[in-house]
Structure 1
Amino acid sequence: MRGLAFFNLDTKSTGIIEGIRNASGVTVDQRRNRVYVGGADGLFFLNDNKVSEQLPVKDNIQYLYFKDVIFFVNKRREAYRFDYGVVSPLQEVQGIAIDKLIVDDEYNMFFLQNRKLFRVKLGTRAVNTHERFTVDAITVDFNYKPFVSTTNGLYVYNKYKYALDKVSSIVDLKELVFNRLGEPIYVVEDHLIKLKNPVTYLHD
């Protein structure tokens, strides 16, 4: 059974979060500084004491993402949104198998299916593909700019060209996140690595 732990980058403190069976998805509401966790028994949030409290979602959650509302993918690879206590299918990709998804600052949703990258504008069903890339991880920075880790490097989405621009040659990332300073934190094999400089890209 998979558990959940935390590691504070500033204080170096660690701990175990109890009460979430097979924790698979973790996401953060940056505005409220609230952590949500998905597991075999549904959706949870961590209170100020790092104690898990269950929300009214009963599903086997494999992946979570937060932007304005909670998006989640279940074990059947179906995508849903959870908003004001209501679960509804993500109409833009209904009937499409999803592994992971992110939403950027322009409300483009990027999603993975068998390590292939696709893009759809929320509110539409016009799915575009970035099929030449084999993807290991997708994420956004603190400003919701999308980053895509592939087998030949790290890319950022260029909304003016509707294309991915390469920003680093780093490969084999299992996961990638950014802190508030824009510094990347990533997992390679079994190592957690934090870079002290932001990833450079062309600002808007």
Structure 2
Amino acid sequence: MKVILVLALLVYAEARIAIENCNGTVVHNIKHEKQVLKSNIRSPYQLAIDYNTNTLFFSYSSDDPGLTFDSAYINLKTNEFKIIKGITGGFANAVDEQGNVVYLGGQDGIYQFDYETKVATRIDGTDHNIWQLFFKKDLYYSKYPEEEVYIFKNHKSHRVPELAGTRGMLVAVDNFDNIYFSNSSGLFVHKKTKDYTYFVGDYNINGFTHDINGELFFSTPEGIYYINDKSKKVEKLTSIDNLYGVAIEADGSIIYASEDSLVRLKPTKTYCFSDEKTNL
């Protein structure tokens, strides 16, 4: 099944007039308009969408001098924004879509968000300083500053065996249970079928995400990339400067974090010639 983002772009490409030297953001040769969802927030990071409620969870640098980071959410339909209370140094976010559970990572462990109370409650099983969370069948997380990757299951944490001998700052799992991870040396993947880890590329990754179909994407400070589920090749979608993170909405629209805003990219009817190249 092709990624929903690609399908959406193909639909929008119909009946367009090709224009050279388009200004603005171009994704797969289609010009996109920017819609600012939230401004005046410092360094929004670790974006994760709950598709059941159409809610975007993220973290950002706190304005409170007594705190380092705040966890927050924005309703993508109503634009309602709230800071999540009850979490110490909230920095990481992940969603279990089938279990309807929102996980948040703090300086002292993993929290669960309650939609009714709008409060995060710490759950037993770990007191690690959580850098990143990613949910795929189970909850994965990385520990800071050790750069160790763990799996959290049945209220217990243990190192991911495949990554026990290496560092991992960010982690993601694809639809074939292959484990992608990044550190200061770049992007790597541990292939489940071969039980082998290999180097994918020298990418300075600052965020992993997935779409509603489980397809993987990542961001660097300079752009947004897609990992082809079947070929395992990396495709660059677009270049954006000072990028902090990315998320993909259910309809395939892109949301990205800049240094002070959350922005949605919506496709227009303008088809452009693009100089973007595919990175393998």
- CA deviation digits over 1:54-109, x for unaligned, max 9? 21122111111111111011112111101122212100100311111111111111
SS in 1 for 2:212: coil
Change (3 A) 1:115 1:176: farther
Distance 1:145 1:22, change over 3 A: same
Q: Closer, same or farther in 2 for the Cα pair 1:17/1:152, shift >3 Å? A: closer
Question: C-alpha displacement at 1:125, in angstroms?
Answer: 4.5
Which ranges of structure 1 fall in alignment gaps of 5 or more residues? 199-204
Between the two proteins, the alignment pairs up a number of residues equal to: 198
8 Å Cα contact 2:221/2:244 also seen in 1: no
Q: For 1:162, what is the secondary structure of its paired residue? A: coil
Residue 51 (str. 1) matches residue 119 (str. 2): yes
Question: What's 1:130 paired with?
Answer: 200
**Judging changes above 3 Å, is the alpha-carbon distance between structure 1 residues 115 and 174 closer, same or farther for their aligned structure 2 residues?**
farther
Question: 1:69 pairs with 119, 134, 138, which one?
Answer: 138
Alignment of 1:38-187 (within 5 A): 38-49=105-116, 50-56=118-124, 57-75=126-144, 76-114=146-184, 116-122=186-192, 125-150=195-220, 153-187=223-257
CA RMSD of aligned residues (A): 2.1
In structure 1, how many angstroms separate the alpha carbons of the residues matched to 2:160 and 2:198?
A: 17
Seen in structure 2, the aligned counterparts of structure 1 residues 123 and 94 have a Cα distance that, compared at 3 Å, is farther
2:93 — aligned with what? 26
Alpha-carbon distance change, 160 to 43 in structure 1, aligned in 2, over 3 angstroms: closer
* More off after superposition, 50-59 vs 158-167: 158-167
Q: 1:128: Cα distance to partner?
A: 1.0
1:12 aligned counterpart, secondary structure: coil
Read off the aligned partner of 2:133 and give its amino acid letter: L
Shift of residue 116, structure 1, vs aligned partner? 1.0
One-letter amino acid matched to 2:121: E
Q: Would you say the 8 A contact 1:69–1:83 is kept in 2?
A: yes
TM-score under structure 1 length normalisation: 0.87
Unaligned runs of 5+ in 2: 1-66, 269-280
Distance 2:203 2:218 in 1: 9
Amino acid at match of 1:149: S
Whether the 8 Å CA contact 1:78–1:95 is kept in 2: the answer is no
Cα distance in 1 for partners of 2:222, 2:231 equals 20
Post-superposition shift, 1:131? 2.7
Q: Relative CO higher for 1 or 2, CA cutoff 8 Å, sep ≥ 6? A: 2
In our comparison, the structure showing a higher alpha carbon Rg is 2
